Structure 1
Amino acid sequence: MGGIQLCLAGASIGNGNRGVEALGRSVLDVIDTEAPGSRLSAFDDGWGVRPDNSGRYRRADVEFVGVRLSRRWHRSESWAQIRVAQRLGVLGNPAATRIAHADAVLDISGGDSFTDLYGRSRLRAVSAPKEAALRVGRPLVLLPQTYGPFDTPDGRQRAERLVRSAALAYARDAASYERLLELAGSAADFSRLRSGVDVAFALEPRRPMNGVVEQIEELTDGPIAGVNISGLLRDDAAVGRFGLAGNYISTMTDLVHALVDTGARVLLVPHVHVPGGGGESDVAAIEAVLARLPDGVSARITVVPAELDAAELKWCIGQCDWFVGSRMHATIGALSSRVPACGYAYSDKTRGVFETCGMGDHVVDARTVSGAAAVEAMTASFAIRADVKPKLDARVPKVVRQARGQMIDILADVRAWKSGRALGAIA
């Protein structure tokens, strides 16, 4: 079980998005356990090369390497500078050097960002590490993720080229697997196109410090309803951008009020935290909801600190009796903890992941329903939480094992490539 050299892209640990962090931590946890002696360079949007000082990884050497689309092309972190270094064969560039020496480049695209839904610039950034691996002939592994939608000819052509050039490609749900097969085309080696599950199902929860545990354990006078309110959907621009059916903040405010009216204690869980609370920060969305609620309702609400990491947030979510969220990885934190959950979704990706656990009926589409109708659908999910729990108890352990098993299979493939097994593109 010798060590291997890997690069991990599309799962930045420290950018404030706990869902993306959950992806990265889940991959690192398995590598540390299953591939002792390995070296993993995790790409993020920081500066320079930084060793991991968390103490979490005792058997693998983990470091973080800054990469980014940047107008400061002269910086070593710039993908333009990395591209030049690769073409000139100059290995002084940190990222270029690590890619050149890697036994494989693992890429997860933030779980759901391999699409042109978020614009051309985002797709360029997501494609950059994939293209960098292929440029120097390193095996590219597309970890379990969503593929598409691709609504522009350029976006689809780019996706087809990258998928067909990869060594392995996993989808994280059945719908994405069908789209992966379409992108790969009929000439593909279908043994290397695999249906998987979101790697975050394998994330190990960690008990938080700083009094958070005691705060949650004191919530004994009623069921705990966890609620994630997404900052991505909080302003009017989201209505046009994602085709929302109505005002998201008003709907979530009414939902929290309705849950409190049932006798529940509400635990608000931010899953994306932007410094200062602006932009897409869930903290700003939570504050917008709290500002609309009367004092009597607010007294039954507890807000989880935004500074907790993904594993700590998963522990908090695991204490709930039911959970609802619009950040998909917040709901994965619930499902993987066998907590009955509901997704208030703005894209098709959520239903695909919920169906992995047999929970497709517990997804409410924010593009078709809002206001009182959405609140009714979500509170109906809350009402049958006790009926849902046995289903999760039966199905989720298998999904968690699959999340770990697919990573173990990937590591076995990488070791085989390293030992000389012939390898080509998927198509």
Structure 2
Amino acid sequence: MTTNSTTSTTSQLSARGARFVVAGAPLDNDNRGVEALGSSVVAHLASAESVDTVSVLGDGWGVRADGSWPGHARVDRLGVRNSRRWHRRESWTRIRFDQALGGLGNPVATRLATADAVLDLSGGDSFTDLYGARRLTTVCAPKEAALRAGRPLVLLPQTFGPFTTEEGRRRAEYLVRSSALAYARDAWSYEQLRSLAGPSADPSRLRQGVDVAFALRARTPDGSIVDELAGVDGEVLVGVNVSGLLREESAVERFGLAGPYLPTMVSMVRALIGAGAVVFLVSHVHGAGPTENDATAIEAVEEALSPRERTRVRRLSPHLRAAELKWCISHFDWFTGSRMHATIAALGSTVPAFGYAYSDKARGVFGTCGVADEVVDARAVAGQEAVELALASFAARDATREVLRRRVPEVVTQSRNQLEEVLTAALSWRTQPPGAVT
């Protein structure tokens, strides 16, 4: 009787398509890097024949159907909030309460309970306590909810750490060790992942992958943007991403920068103009408030330029979506930026890129493409020295492009293959549930 019941349950599971919850990369986010992560994953799942439903956790309220994805899978956006207003079903406090009582019709609790797996991205680099305890709580909330629901948790390729507090590290260790699969997006992060998992971890559950944003397919923007790029045909076109996160003078102390960021970027733009380039200023985070908004930083750079210099400068619309920005960036001859996913859009399009970074994560990701030396640490180098290194990268762009042409196709293929690995694993867990990483 038990055998027949088990066979019947297995048959029912096989008859329906897979159901996934995607967390940590809201599609309606104004950070185009986070959007690129979510879009890459959702596009792959929505196009898979074996997938029935994709529920994407993010900003907003309630449940909203999203019919913009090709493929037969249903894609819904579900609002979730780290809010004390527990009477709202979107509040993680309320979700936890409803989970404890069987769901109570809460749509998020229901999707979690019926998911074949919960796929979590942590915004790519937010699984850390560097941004404070509240931010870590928000990042951990969907992971912890998946475990409460008894569903397999998959940590998709991301950066792990650093963790500066004992409490933050213990929390991360628990979540990593409770995961069914965990992917790091570069070699450095993989070592952090192994440390969090501990010496008794099953190595087959800990994997070194690549950033899923490499899988993002570019999309042509509207005609006015295309015309703007075509209007400077024959010129050397470079893209410069200026990060609003580093704009304020307080960023020097907060991130340990070697010197003020904006003067360095102004000098860099001037030097590129002097080298004969037309410079497109690229915003990759929009609507995050004046202290993080890239458009605000770009305005400050423009204001510092002379009227003559401004004739060689253009600004891409901050309202372009991630796939549209990638299309634009793919038409540049060289690119530099401090937002890592802006540089990933370049690298993934085999456009030579120079990272002016404020953390260790960028060098690891550039390394997956064989160009780790194209990253300069803003915590060690600023001002004229940083500008000279950028100009050297610009001058060597043809050689860098050849390296990228050899290495990037393999990286893009890997970014898609790892999603197939997750899909295959999730289907197998229907009949043989996974244990934890340890």
| TM-score normalized with structure 2 length | 0.95
Q: In the superposition, relative to structure 1, how do residues 35 and 285 fare at CA in structure 2: closer, same or farther (>3 Å)?
A: farther
Percent identical: 57
Specify the SS of the correspondent of 1:369.
coil
The answer to whether the aligner puts 1:238 opposite 2:238 as a matched pair is no
How far apart in 1 are the matches of 2:180 and 2:50? Answer: 23
Equivalent of residue 160 in structure 1, options 169, 173, 188 = 173
The answer to whether the aligner puts 1:424 opposite 2:435 as a matched pair is yes
Match of 1:95 in 2: 108
The answer to whether the aligner puts 1:124 opposite 2:168 as a matched pair is no
Match of 1:373 in 2: 385
One-letter identity of the residue aligned with 2:412: V
Q: How does 1:313-392 map to 2 (within 5 A)?
A: 313-392=325-404
Per-residue CA shift, 1:249-292, capped at 9, x if unaligned?
A: 110001000000001000111111017x6231110010010010
Specify the SS of the correspondent of 2:429.
helix
Which structure has the greater CA radius of gyration? Answer: 2
One-letter identity of the residue aligned with 1:49: V
Per-residue CA shift, 1:74-106, capped at 9, x if unaligned?
A: 111110000100111133111111101111100
How far apart in 1 are the matches of 2:103 and 2:47? Answer: 34
Match of 2:4 in 1: none
Q: CA deviation at 1:388?
A: 1.0
Equivalent of residue 81 in structure 1, options 74, 94, 116 = 94
Per-residue CA shift, 1:283-308, capped at 9, x if unaligned?
A: 00100100100011111111110111
Match of 1:415 in 2: 427
Equivalent of residue 25 in structure 2, options 11, 17, 23 = 11
The answer to whether the aligner puts 1:312 opposite 2:319 as a matched pair is no
Per-residue CA shift, 1:185-208, capped at 9, x if unaligned?
A: 111111010010000000000000
Q: CA deviation at 1:237?
A: 2.0
One-letter identity of the residue aligned with 2:174: R
One-letter identity of the residue aligned with 1:160: E
Q: CA deviation at 1:149?
A: 0.3
Q: CA deviation at 1:248?
A: 0.5
How far apart in 2 are the matches of 1:204 and 1:111? Answer: 18
One-letter identity of the residue aligned with 1:286: I
How far apart in 1 are the matches of 2:423 and 2:108? Answer: 21
Of the structure 1 ranges 161-170 and 26-35, higher mean CA displacement relative to structure 2 is found in 26-35
Q: CA deviation at 1:36?
A: 4.7
One-letter identity of the residue aligned with 1:424: G
Q: How does 1:169-208 map to 2 (within 5 A)?
A: 169-208=182-221
Equivalent pair of 1:169/1:194 in contact (CA under 8 Å): yes
One-letter identity of the residue aligned with 2:290: G
One-letter identity of the residue aligned with 2:36: A
Equivalent of residue 303 in structure 1, options 315, 321, 337 = 315
Q: CA deviation at 1:220?
A: 2.4
Specify the SS of the correspondent of 1:21.
helix
Match of 2:5 in 1: none
Q: CA deviation at 1:210?
A: 4.2
Equivalent pair of 2:237/2:334 in contact (CA under 8 Å): yes
How far apart in 1 are the matches of 2:333 and 2:121? Answer: 31
Equivalent of residue 285 in structure 2, options 272, 275, 293 = 272
| TM-score normalized with structure 1 length | 0.97
How far apart in 1 are the matches of 2:274 and 2:50? Answer: 51
Equivalent pair of 2:156/2:183 in contact (CA under 8 Å): yes
Match of 1:292 in 2: 304
Q: CA deviation at 1:221?
A: 4.5
Match of 1:29 in 2: 43
Equivalent of residue 109 in structure 1, options 118, 122, 144 = 122
Per-residue CA shift, 1:130-153, capped at 9, x if unaligned?
A: 000001211000000000000110
How far apart in 1 are the matches of 2:135 and 2:368? Answer: 27
The answer to whether the aligner puts 1:224 opposite 2:244 as a matched pair is no
Match of 1:51 in 2: 65
How far apart in 2 are the matches of 1:139 and 1:368? Answer: 41
Specify the SS of the correspondent of 2:305.
coil
How big is the alpha-carbon RMSD for the aligned residues of Structure 1 and Structure 2?
Answer: 1.2
Equivalent pair of 2:247/2:291 in contact (CA under 8 Å): no
How far apart in 2 are the matches of 1:91 and 1:41? Answer: 18
Structure 1: segments with no counterpart, 5+ residues:
none
How far apart in 2 are the matches of 1:238 and 1:77? Answer: 33
Specify the SS of the correspondent of 1:77.
coil
One-letter identity of the residue aligned with 2:170: Q
Stretches of 4+ aligned residues off by more than 3 angstroms: none
Structure 2: segments with no counterpart, 5+ residues:
1-13
One-letter identity of the residue aligned with 1:162: L
State how many pairs are aligned. 424
